[in-house]
Every structure is written in structure tokens, then in C-alpha cells.
Amino acid sequence: MIKLSKINKIYRTATVETQALADLDLEVNKGEFLSIMGPSGCGKSTLLNIMGLLDTPSSGTIEIAGRDTTGMRDKEMARFRNETLGFIFQSFHLIPTLNVLDNVTVPLLYRKGFKGSKNELARKALERVGLSHRMSHFPSQLSGGQAQRVAIARAIVGNPQIILADEPCGNLDSKMSAEIMAILHSLNKEDGRTIVMVTHNEAQAAETDRTVHFFDGRRVN
């Protein structure tokens, strides 16, 4: 489902060169729930951004859902990303001026040629995460766990094959974290979605199919 080959990512300033990722090879199978672990600054989030086509590698190739993304133009890449990938972030990234229902519809607003009821799909996504009773609320009226469930609904509303989650439980207590992990496992096992999750939590990583460790921009297992 995802294949990264010889990925390097180098950040340069006038005086400093930093290699965030070095000669990375990684394959994620269809329907797999993969966790990525490593100390802060080891390149985990950089990897997820590259995997999600939010950042470009300095060298190497990225194949997603059978397509080589090398050379994709910006509009083509944006459309492919919108249709194929769903994103969940540690800080939720909900729009404070929109209610829950409208937050969930946002990815559909950018889907070219979309037909159907955006609100109906958003309602179904919110039902899936147990928040259909909060559709008219605003982000400031939600708990952290509720906000993350809205973010998950937003990630799945467009029916992506792949979900990329960057520390999805990082701002939550243990009870809320367990609820979020249960939803992710349901999306993986029942829907067959491929999930890649960055985490610092060893117990959460142990629940997934496979864990890959990173250190100083290199894969160590």
C-alpha cells in the first residue's frame, strides 16, 4: 500500500545542514496497522509528512496505493492526497469558527467533482465515532477526546484507503486514549483501512501489527 525507497530528507540553512531522514526503505502492507516509534527529533513526523505527501524528500521515491508519486504536479498530488489519505494530528487542528458538522465536511469541499450530500456523509462519519449528538457544537465546547473523535471523523469522511496519525493520543488522558485506540482498531479491522501511527507510547504500539523504530533519521529495525 505504501512503499518508500531510498528516502533522504535534508534541511539546509546558510550555515547548517541537517539530515532528517537517511536512506530509508519502508513498506506498509494493505490493511496493516503500523506504529512508528523513536525519540523526539528522530524524524518520525518528517517521515509521516513525506508519506502523506505534505512534504517532499530530497531524494528517493514514494509509491502509494500502486501509484508512483514522483513527478506529480501540485494539483494532481492535492487531489490524490484528498482521495487516498486521511490525517489525524495530535493537536486536532479543528477550525474554531465552524461547528462539528462543518469541520467534518471540510475535506469534501476540496474534492473535485464530488456529488452527493456532504452533510449526510459527515453525519455518518460522526455516528461512526459516537458523536452524532454533538454536530452543532463548536470545538471550544468539546473535551480533548471529543475533539479527537471529530478529527477522526474528518479523516474518514472521504473514505480514504490510508490513515496517517501523528501522536493521536498525545494530548489525551489514559481513558480517552483507550477510546481513540479502540476507534482506530475498528477502522483497521472492520473497514480494512491501512493505518500508520506515530507514537511515544509503547503500550499503544504493542497493540498494532508491527512497530518500526527510528533513531537519528535512520530505521533501526
pLDDT in tens, 90-148: 989 999 999 999 999 999 988 876 677 899 999 999 999 999 999 999 999 999 999 99
User: What pLDDT is recorded for position 111?
Assistant: 81
Question: How high is the pLDDT of residue 113?
Answer: 67
Question: Of all helices (H) and strands (E), which one includes residue 11?
Answer: strand 2-12
Buried b (16+ CB within 10 A) or exposed e, 71-84: ebeeeeeebbbbbb
Look up residue 213 and give its amino acid: H
CA distance 47 to 139: 29
Q: What is the pLDDT of residue 125?
A: 96
Q: Are 199 and 205 a contacting pair, CB within 8 Å?
A: yes
Please state whether beta strands 162-166 and 218-219 pair in parallel, antiparallel, or not at all (unpaired). unpaired
Which positions of the chain have pLDDT values less than 50?
Answer: none
